[in-house]
Chains A and B, each alone.
Chain A
Amino acid sequence: MASPIADLTYRNYDGPLEPPLYRWWAIAKASMRLSIKKKGIYPLAFLSACWYLLLLIVFYFIDMAAQGVPLGQKNPILQQIIWKDQFLNAFGVSQLALFIIALLIGVGAIANDNRANALLVYLSKPVTRLDYLIGKWLGIFVPITLIVGVPMLVFFGYCTMSYQDYGFLTEDPRLFFKLLLLMLVPGFFHASVALGISSMFNQGRLAGAAYAGLYFMTYFFSGAMKIVHIASSEDGGTTPPIVKTLFYCSIDGLQIALGKLILGTDGSDPFSFAQAGPGRRGPNISVIPAPNPTLFIGAFFAICILSMFIAWTRIRAVEVVA
């Protein structure tokens, strides 16, 4: 005869459990699936890679234009290129598109779960807050890193095949490894900061507004510093050191600072190689030298860790009614 008390053995599941690894990976996969369904990221990903495409076109025409160079001699313009600066410029140009991608796939990550009370569901499973956080973080980090990395490595491969004679590999033999490191920067930064901001809201729209406000206001602040720098240069004076530091105090600026530190270059103005002597940079009026490595690497990690800490403290299994 059936017991009048319902069978509650399901509460004590004693079947095989997946190792903890898969718990955060399940969340990461779900987040990534959601991201790749957003059509908006594809044109933005293309935009973020546009600079590489532009460089390829320019290099092609430079090659074409130098058909008259005698045999055995090298193309004088290609000889003037500082290769790692091209990666740095492309990295700088892609920042806005990457930020918008982060807005699309990142800022709603926790806020939308808050709104839908999905956190209650996640945390009612054998999923820890850390699993959840790592899963969400990877869900942003992996797509952004791929969007940064794929065109970067394709361009690297193309240049390796085409421009070895122009010092592409010899200019900096460790360039490949530096690029591998560089491609992690935007994903790492946006995933951390977006999650931190996202956790503070229960509407993706408001989290997006907060992140966008932070981005654009620091962007224009950074722009103001650049103006000061250019104005000082045009006047023939020197830029105060504080201006050079403050220039990097934006979301873009911080990442570009890290780019310069990783690649070991101060950078150069786009296409300034056309005006430079062999192996030298062009006029580079707007270039601000690489900043203090300790300060900016420290700031980068401090911001990321602080953001993740905020997210960690805000992830709670409570019903959100607002």
Chain B
Amino acid sequence: MLYVTSGMTVETLRDCLVAAAPLDLLGMRLLQTCPQPSLYPTDLPRETLKEAVSEIVDYTGRCTAVARRLTHLAPIPLVTIELLEFGL
């Protein structure tokens, strides 16, 4: 909606997305520091594991909620964008 009403270009939108800070989750950091050849770290302190799971559960919960909201968006007429492929 913001995209349509504010006259934002595709380039600006892409720049916004590129400028977003990389995702930093404890679970990912634990995986990256896991000694080879194990796939998943073992013998982690209980609190660390709890924090990592809580963070991931929260993250996946937010992602699921966003995805759900997106599927319920009302159709938006894109009057300022030409989609040549649409005719195909």
Partners in one complex: no
A-side interface residues toward B, CB under 8 Å?
Answer: none
